[in-house]
Amino acid sequence: MGTVTRSPLQFAAVREDPRIERTLILEHAPRRALLVASGGCTALALRAWFPALAIELVDPNPAQLAHVERKLAALAAGAEPAAFNVGTPDPDGLAECGNFERLFRAFRALLDLFVVAGDERRLRLETGAGWDDVVAHPYWPVAFALAFADPLLVAMFGPDAVQHAVPGSYPAYFQRRIELGLAAPDRSSNPWLHHVLLGHYLASPAAWPPYLREPPRDLTPFRAHRATLLELESFAPYDLVQLSNVPDWMADAACDELARRMAQEMRPGSVVLFRALNDPRDLVARWSPSFAFDPGRDARLADLERSLFYDQVHAGVHR
């Protein structure tokens, strides 16, 4: 017996609501889109909704690109929903086998031991019951403080992941975000909330991620680029570039270089989309004035984000 093996896969699931991308695609009708691969959930949902849209993926981690292909293969083989962690917290499931998912297993273990048992959490989510007593529990903030402490995040993702946040701010940040989900009227159908609190999705299809409720018909592999965003040859081919929250991880100089290249290479009318998580910097200013941002629209897009992870969503249109 040796030490626990570190998985090469960081993210088994995408914690982003693809309705944001859907809104922009309906508004701007792009023909070719570039998405950060991550766990592949967004790309799969968009392929189902927009089969004519050419979608390409980018990720420097080959394990992420291979994971997307595993999901495609499972869908093509007619795998049961349980393979995607519907109804089961199987750590080898396709939505639960990454390093980030291990972090949430540690969080749930703390809840089990000190706050509220897993069966009770599931029952409350299934029935829409209240959570006031859980949120008021003295160990509730302690669970966040232990599971989302800076040393654990740095060990898992490296210092880039927390470099711009106020030191020690992640526990309170995630606590606020999860409490927003628990207070929302749609908490019984929010798959991202369920994934955090249960490690699986509920049995009802109404509570599944979009790509499971409506799988794409085209299950061939996506064209993929094993590269960082700055290693891409060109952004010119794309009418929509989705950056996920990668700018959060980038130093100021790298953000400036990415914004400069996109401004030079992308066509007028093309769209850049990025989310932000606990990053106090003014990222919009780095893409302005080459890209036009509408604060009102950004706020409306942020309101669509049911994943609860991001406190900012920004979409800019190339002038």
Instruction: Give the tens place of pLDDT for each residue, 209-238.
Output: 999 999 999 999 999 999 999 999 999 999
Pairwise CA distance, residues 303 & 273, whole Å: 15
The CA distance from 241 to 227, in Å, is 15
User: Considering the entire predicted model, what is its pTM?
Assistant: 0.97
**Where residue 308 falls among pLDDT bands split at 50, 70, 90?**
very high
Q: What average pLDDT does range 47-56 have in this prediction? A: 98
Q: pLDDT of 161-207, one tens digit each?
A: 999 999 999 999 999 999 999 999 999 999 999 999 999 999 999 99
Work out the average pLDDT over 93-98.
98
Instruction: Identify whether the C-beta of residue 187 lies closer than 8 Å to the C-beta of residue 181.
Output: yes
Average confidence (pLDDT) over 270-278: 98
